[in-house]
Structure formats: structure tokens, C-alpha cells
Amino acid sequence: MVGCDCRVCTSTDPRDHRTRHGALLEADGGRLLIDTPPELRLQLLRAGIDRVDAVWYTHAHADHLHGIDDLRIFSLRGRGDLPAYISDDARPALLQRFDYIFDPEEIPLPGTSKPGIHLRSLHPYRPIELVGETFVPLPVPHGTFTPLGFRVGGLGYITDAKRLPSETSEVLQGVRVLVLNALWYGDPHPTHFNVEEALKVAEGIGAERTYLVHLTHRLSHRELLERLPPGVRPAHDGLTVTLEPTRIREETS
């Protein structure tokens, strides 16, 4: 937190140095970027990412969207417009805030550029083929927004949720890895799970491993490791999780 000198904000543990939440999913058919947080450029540089094949937008809140301009490098490299998938509910906010990208009459001057992005629609529970895999978009309530997480193979991905609708929960049954948002222990939040709520959801899904994301400075990484039950872990910047046939492998960059 800007201007905060709490024990987590001043921690020397690199796992407590959290940027806004995003992820990159790698499959045999390509790379899918999940959201474009404001620190996207720094995240991509740190991970050594030189190619992205598509983008999945969970919703249009600033912390998941406002790094969008840093996608321009991928279209500038001559691969054409980057497909970006978003719900019809979230699309108007994207077009309004970043009209210079999506207005066809906004032509860059010679020697300048803008991101080349082609928007495509996501529909709740309607499977879609991306990067060689089948994704099922999963709606979750988040205040006045309805983000779209997803299930793909053995992975379930839910961020910015306050509860799981019954159909979303049913689709997630049987995943090996679940990614789930959680802010803190204690005080309920109107639009996000706290840790207790997230743990109850995780228990109901029964994944082999659950990773908590969207964490706040009320919780240190070490504290979470000590308090969370078996099979539930805090995620951190630079974490790579690989689903192998017989195990789930973790690496840290």
C-alpha cells in the first residue's frame, strides 16, 4: 500500500511484494494472458514473456484492466491484432475508457502506434476453444460486476468473487488446482471472499490444491503458510504451477 509502513508492506520477504493480480496460462496451443493489471509491463519483463497469443478479461475493474496499453508490443511485432475475450457486460467499459484503441477512426500518426486488439465475446457456461484447450466461462458475483472465471481441464480459476453460483460450483467439481480470491481473515467484505469464506468454498470444490490470490497487506505470506489447512496455499508473484499427470509442480522465478 502506498504510504504504509506496516510489517507486510515493509517486509523483506519477496513473497510479500505483491503487484496487482494477473496470470499467464501456457498450453500446447499457445499462451493465454489473464487480465492486464497496471503492473503488466513489469510482470511480463520479470517473467521473460516475449509472446502472448490471446487475452482473457475477467472483468473491467481498473486493477484487472488498466495495463492494456502494454499489449501494443505484441501487435507491433507483426503478428496482427491480438484477440481479447471479454463478456458483453464488460465490453462497454473497455470501449469507453480506451476509445483510442478501439475507435477505428483513431488512426495513429506516422511514426506512432496503438495496441492492435480485436475484441471477442465470452458467454457464461458456453465452452470456447482457446490456445488448443476448451474453456468454460464461469460467472461469479462481485458487487455490480459479474466477472468470468473459467475451468480448463484440471484447472479452475476464480478471482473477485463473493460467492459461487451453484452452476459454477458444479462445473468446478473435479478440478485438481483451484485459484481463488481471498482478502484477509475476519471482517466480511461486500464484494470479495475473506479467507474463511474462501476456505469454505475450497472445501466444497475439493481440489487437490487451492491457491489464494488477490491478497492484501493484512496478511504476510509466512503467516498464511502457517495458518492455512493442508492443500491450501497462498500464491505469490513469480509463482509457476505445472499440472503434470502424477503431481502438481511449483517453481518460483
Cα–Cα distance measured from residue 248 to residue 13, given in angstroms and rounded to the nearest whole number: 24
The whole-number pLDDT of residue 243 equals 96
Q: Which among 122, 103, 168, 108 has a CA at the least distance from the CA of 141?
A: 168
CATH numbers and ranges of domains, the chain: 21-122 (3.60.15.10), 127-235 (3.60.15.10)
* Res 35: pLDDT: 98
- pLDDT tens per residue across span 107-162: 999 999 999 999 999 999 999 999 999 999 999 999 999 999 999 999 999 999 99
Asked if the model's pLDDT at residue 11 lies above 80, the reply is yes
Distances (CA, A) of 126 to 5, 152, 177, 202, 249: 46, 12, 21, 23, 30
Tell the residue number behind the cell numbers 471479454, with chain if given. 86
- Checking if the pLDDT of 85 tops 90, the result is yes
What pLDDT does residue 126 have? 98
Range 124-149 burial, b when 16+ CB lie within 10 A, else e = beeebebbebebbbbbbbbeebbbbb
pLDDT on residue 80:
84
Residue 75 reports pLDDT greater than 90: no
The secondary structure of residue 6, as a DSSP letter, is S
